Amino acid sequence: MMFGWFKNPPLPMNEIVRNYENTPQPSPKTALSEVNFLVLDLELTGLDAKKDHIVSAGWVPIRHQEIMLGDSAHYLVKSPIGVGQSAVIHGVHDHQLKTGMELCELMAMLLQSYPGYVLVAHHAQMDLAFLTMACERCFGRSPKFKAIDTLKIEWQRLHNKGKVLTRDMLRLSSCLERHKLPKAPQHHALADAFACAQLLLSQIRQHSSSMTLGELQNLSR
């Protein structure tokens, strides 16, 4: 099932982007319980989307506010250059990356499997920059990605409580601890995506059960 898209004759590249764009995102008035989310995490060789590369990607969808483990996925990406220093952080080595997936295969799978899903990430800005860059490289152009950012939601939450914030307090591991959620092994794309999904559910539960997508988007600004 996972690779089902691959067996179909591949779509022309630009249609992948167009199809993705043509599937509408849910309206801001949609109740959160009706919104499909895709929580995503990328491990990267560095912080610069122009120079650095995606090492691995992990994601897990949320439907009806339930994290669907059966659809969780984790892929290593073939890298055009060596992983170098960042392998120390991610525990991913060059020889593993040779067995990985082509970046463009990964992007096509993401766009074709999850159109209409609201993307979620921790410190989403970074992941979106890499996704956009990847699409441009693969398909010539990229959809305009938007995402819910659990880091920003957390920032607002703490800010509203009048807390003085430090950078460390917004790290995923600190957030998990604050929300009394199970710890995630650091720097594994799927583990982090799963942890981020749990964080999102906890953050949503701090608010009324009738919360809408628009209200959540406001918190994530």
Partner 1 sequence: MEVTEVTKFLAETTPFDQLDADQLQALARQMSVYYFRAGEEVNTDSNRLMIVRTGVFSLYSDQQQLLTKLQSGDFYGYQQLLTDLSDQDTLLCDEDGLVYWLTAEGFQQIRYQFKNIELFFQRLFGRRLHQYKEQSTNRFTLKISDVAKARKVSISPDATVQQAAAQMTEQRVSSLLVEQNNKLVGIITDRDLRSRVVAEALPADSPVSDVMTSKPHTIDLHAYLFEAVQLMSQHNIHHLPVLRDEHLFGMITATDVIRAQQDHPVYLIGEIHRQHCEEGILQCASQILHLSQSLSNQQVPAHEASHVLTTVTDALTQSWIKLALKRLGPAPCVFTWLGFGSQARMEQGLNADQDNALLLEKEPEGEIAAYFEQLANIVCDGLNECGIVYCPGNIMASNPELRLSLKGWSKQFARWIQTPTQEALLKSSIFFDLRPIYGSKSLFNALQQDILARTKDKAVFLYHLSHNALKGTPPLGFFKTFTLERDGKQKKGLDLKKRGLILITDMARIYSLSKGISAINTRQRLIQLAQQKVMDAKDSQNLLDAFDVLAQLRWDKHQHDIAQGHEASNLLDPAVLSGLQRHQLKDVFEVINQAQSQMKYRFCREL
Interface residue list for partner 1 (CB under 8 A): 58, 60, 65-70, 72-74, 180-182, 184-185, 188, 190-191, 194-195, 197-198, 201-202, 204-205
The CB-of-67 to partner 1 minimum distance in angstroms stands at: 4
Nearer to partner 1, 1 or 88 (CB): 1
Nearer to partner 1, 104 or 201 (CB): 201
Q: 134, 105 in Cβ contact below 8 A?
A: no
The CB-of-160 to partner 1 minimum distance in angstroms stands at: 12
Distance CA 152, CA 64 (A): 23
Q: What letter represents residue 123's amino acid?
A: H
Nearer to partner 1, 21 or 215 (CB): 215
The CA-based angle 66-56-71, given to 5 degrees, is 25
Distance CA 215, CA 220 (A): 9
The CB-of-66 to partner 1 minimum distance in angstroms stands at: 4
The CB-of-114 to partner 1 minimum distance in angstroms stands at: 17
Nearer to partner 1, 25 or 202 (CB): 202
* 3-state DSSP assignment of residue 28: coil
Nearer to partner 1, 47 or 69 (CB): 69
The CB-of-29 to partner 1 minimum distance in angstroms stands at: 23
Angle between helices 13-22 and 124-139 (to 10 degrees): 140
The CB-of-143 to partner 1 minimum distance in angstroms stands at: 26
Phi (first) and psi of residue 147, to 5 degrees: -150, 155
**How far from 45 is each of 58, 73, 92, 136, 211, CA to CA, in Å?**
15, 20, 10, 19, 37
Nearer to partner 1, 85 or 99 (CB): 99
Instruction: Provide the β-strand partners of residue 101.
Output: 77
User: Within 10 A of 51 (CB to CB), how many other CB atoms are there?
Assistant: 10
